[in-house]
Structure formats: C-alpha cells, structure tokens
Amino acid sequence: MEIITTFPQGLRYACTPESCFVCCSLLEEIPITIQEINRVKALGYADFYEARSGRYFIKKPCVFLEGRLCLLHKRHGKSEKFMSCRKYPFSASVLDNGSVVVDVKWTCPGIGFDAGEEITGALLRGEFLEDLLRSGAEQVRRGEVVYLHSPSGQQIPWRALVKLYSGILETLAGERFYDFILLLTAAVRHVGASLGGRSFVSAREAEEALQGFRERYRGEREALLRGVKAQAQVAVDILAIYDYFDDLFEFRINPGFAARKLGIAEELSFDEDFAGLFSKPLSGEAQRLLAAHAGQSFMETLARPWDLPSSYFFALGVACVSDYLARLLAGREVTRDDARRALSLVDFLNKHYHSFREYYFPRYPELGMQYLQFLLGGVLE
C-alpha cells in the first residue's frame, strides 16, 4: 500500500475530544457499517442509526453527542467509535492503481504545526487506514498513466506525476505565501517548457524537469520571481474577482453560513474594498499556514482526473478564497489565528458539503487565474 499525503511535512495532530464536535453535528452524512451497528448495540445503545438506499447513517442530531463530548469516546475509548468519526480529521481516496491519497481537514481544531503528534504513515495506519482498506472502501478511478496536460493529450506515469508534484512542493517548503505562489508559477512554467512537445513523458524526463527547476531555484530564486512578474499580463480585471466573490457569497452554503456553524463569526459578508483589505500585512505565521494550505490544495488534485495546469490554477483559486477570508476576519494585521479560522472555513465548505463542491470546484481554476493577475498587477508588493 503506497500512502500519498497531501499535507506538508511537519503538520501535527492532537486529539481534542473536549472540543471535537464538527463530525458529530455539522457534517452532511456520517456513514456507518452493519458490523459497527451490531458492535455498538452490544454496548447497550439503540435507535442511533437509519437506513437509506441500502446504506446506514447515524441519525441527526447524533445521540452520542453530549455537549461537545462523544459518549462512546468518553465511556468506552476512541477505539469504540465509528470509523467515520474515529478517522476524522483524515480522509482517504483509495485509487484503482493501488495508491491511497490521504487528506486532512483543517476544520479540526487539533490540526496545526504547534502541538500534537507529527502526522506520519504509522499514525495514519493506527488511526484508520488498515480498517479502511479491510472494509473494501469505494475506489477512485486513477490509472497508472494519467494526463500531464489534457488539451494536448500529453500523458505521464502516475508515480512520476506524484514525484513531480511532491518534489515541487518540497523545493518550495518554507516560502512566504506570495513568494510561494509566484515560485509555484515559475515551477509550472519551467516543467511545461521542459516537457512540451512530447505525447508521453517518462519518469526520467519528469525527474530531469524537476531537477532543472530545483537547480534554477537554488541559483536564481530572485531572478525567477522577477521573471514571473515580468512575463505576466498585468491588465487586472478587478470586476472579474468581484463577480466570483459575489457568486460565492450568494450561494446558499457560503462562508457566512460556515462561519456561523463553526462559531467563528456571527456575520461575514462580501467586501469590495480590495485595496483596503489587501493593505493589511500578513504575519509570518499567517503566511506559513496559507502557503501550507495552498500546497495541500495542489496535492489534493492527485486524487482527481486533472492535469498539471488545472491542478495549479485550482490551488490558486483555493488560496485566493483563503487569503480573502483571512483578511475579512482580521483587524489591522492578518494573524495566525485569522489565517487558521479562514482555513477552517475553506475546508469546511470544500470538504463537508457535496453541493458546494459541485457548485464551486469548477470555478476555482478561473478564479485562480484572476487571482494571479491580481497579485501581479501591483496591488501587492
């Protein structure tokens, strides 16, 4: 079993049962199995589930939720919880090529860089992966050969694509948020220029393209940043960004809804004063979190049938929403806490609501294009 994690190295997880209530009260569905139902019945509980379309779900509101505590966890230990609850904040896509892509949800208060156990393969296996694979989880179609660039039909072996994505992010680890975005842009351009014209990219060719970027990054970092700015079209269409955010806030499941659900803010509304919002400085810790999340969004696309350009612009679109919400929540400076709350909102919308994903995921790449132009248009130094 090959485990591919989407999140950056060094991310930590601390189980916080006293404040863990998201998966109990806010998720759309909490699926459970008949084996789990029988096991929990044997503990003396009844009338806690319902059947729909041949599947079983915990009734809402969850009968095991007492305040913000899980009674199963409190009385019987974490191992007796349902797997859907026990594995939170982790999720996994089991691919038909034999790989498992593991994602983490920043909505969980136990996720961060400051406290808890570093998230490793051993931790993930202990939390839920072995049970997940034994349960025969539904697989995601992602073959051994995938697209590097869909419009041209250019293909690449799956494992070479994984190494290319992860290698780019490892190279850029520790970069400040906006520099990370610009250097990711440089990496995608370099790879595209190096591998263009081939119908099939071998693992060796992909590694050479990655190594070429690494060498340029080590020796020409400042030149790469200047080159991205110089090569970009800087005719910024602010109205296009307004349209996307108007669209986002008018959707019935929007950031304001999420903020109220998570107890982050009573009101959260669209602010068209981009100049005012983006004049707020970002603290170093806020930049670290936003950059880490942008990289995770890039890696998450490995479990989707997307190519490199689509993955890149998708990540920029998510980064745009995260950046914007952090600024809405901030005072004069965007702090770590502001960024952390913004990432909670973004992940809550992206990962907990199917209707939001279906509605907004197709819009993220175009928003990412607008965001890049916004950053290069002289609004931010």
Q: Is the pLDDT of residue 29 over 80?
A: no
Most confident of 58-67, 72-81, 191-200: 191-200
Q: Is the pLDDT of residue 6 over 70?
A: yes
Does the CA dihedral 367-343-248-381 come out positive or negative? Answer: negative
Most confident of 61-65, 70-74, 262-266, 288-292: 288-292
Band of residue 54 on the pLDDT scale cut at 50, 70, 90? confident
Q: How far apart are CA 324 and CA 337, in angstroms?
A: 14
Band of residue 68 on the pLDDT scale cut at 50, 70, 90? confident
Instruction: Enumerate the domain spans of the chain.
Output: 2-140, 145-231, 238-379
pLDDT value at position 379?
A: 54
Most confident of 122-131, 237-246, 309-318, 348-357: 309-318
pLDDT value at position 51?
A: 92
Band of residue 63 on the pLDDT scale cut at 50, 70, 90? confident
pLDDT value at position 268?
A: 92
pLDDT value at position 60?
A: 82
Confirm if 101 and 93 have CB atoms less than 8 A apart.
yes
Confirm if 186 and 228 have CB atoms less than 8 A apart.
yes
Q: How far apart are CA 301 and CA 299, in angstroms?
A: 5
Confirm if 160 and 172 have CB atoms less than 8 A apart.
no
Does the CA dihedral 94-100-105-110 come out positive or negative? Answer: positive
**Do the bridges between strand 31-32 and strand 139-140 make them parallel or antiparallel, or are there none, so unpaired?**
unpaired
Instruction: Report how far apart the first and last C-alpha atoms of the chain are (Å, whole number).
Output: 45
Q: How far apart are CA 115 and CA 106, in angstroms?
A: 14
Compute φ and ψ for 118, nearest 5 degrees: -60, 135
pLDDT value at position 237?
A: 76
pLDDT value at position 328?
A: 96
Q: Which long-range contacts (CB under 8 A, 24 or more apart) does 201-207 make?
A: 201/148, 201/154, 201/155, 201/156, 201/160, 202/157, 202/160, 203/157, 203/159, 203/160, 203/163, 206/148, 206/156, 206/160, 206/161, 206/163, 206/164, 207/160, 207/163
Q: How far apart are CA 6 and CA 293, in angstroms?
A: 10
Mean pLDDT of 110-119: 89
Q: Is the pLDDT of residue 381 over 50?
A: no
pLDDT value at position 255?
A: 95
Mean pLDDT of 67-91: 84
pLDDT digits (tens, 9 = 90+) for 83-96: 888 888 888 888 88
Confirm if 106 and 334 have CB atoms less than 8 A apart.
no
**Do the bridges between strand 145-149 and strand 31-32 make them parallel or antiparallel, or are there none, so unpaired?**
unpaired
Q: Is the pLDDT of residue 167 over 80?
A: yes
pLDDT value at position 176?
A: 95
Q: Is the pLDDT of residue 158 over 60?
A: yes
Identify residue 327 by its one-letter amino acid code.
R
3-state secondary structure 20-69: CCHHHHCCCCCEECHHHHHHHHHCCCCCCEEEECCEEEECCCCCCEECCE
Give the helix/strand (H/E) hosting 9.
none
Which has the higher per-residue pLDDT, 54 or 221? 221
Which has the higher per-residue pLDDT, 139 or 147? 147
Token pair in block for residue 193: 């220029």
- In order, the DSSP letters of 334-370 are B-HHHHHHHHHHHHHHHHH-HHHHHHHGGGHHHHHHH
Mean pLDDT of 149-170: 96
pLDDT value at position 256?
A: 94
CB atoms within 10 A of CB 231: 11
Counts of helices then strands in the chain (DSSP H, E): 17, 14
Mean pLDDT of 343-347: 95
pLDDT value at position 360?
A: 93
pLDDT digits (tens, 9 = 90+) for 173-208: 999 999 999 999 999 999 999 999 999 999 999 999
Confirm if 62 and 30 have CB atoms less than 8 A apart.
yes
Of residues 172, 174, 177, 173, the one with CA closest to residue 282: 177
Average pLDDT, rounded, for the chain? 89
pLDDT value at position 258?
A: 92
Q: How far apart are CA 362 and CA 173, in angstroms?
A: 27
Mean pLDDT of 98-121: 88
Of residues 97, 87, 132, 102, the one with CA closest to residue 299: 102
- In order, the DSSP letters of 184-234 are HHHHHHHHHHHHTT-SB--HHHHHHHHHHHHHHHHHHHHHHHHHHHHHS--
Token pair in block for residue 94: 């089991």
Mean pLDDT of 46-71: 87
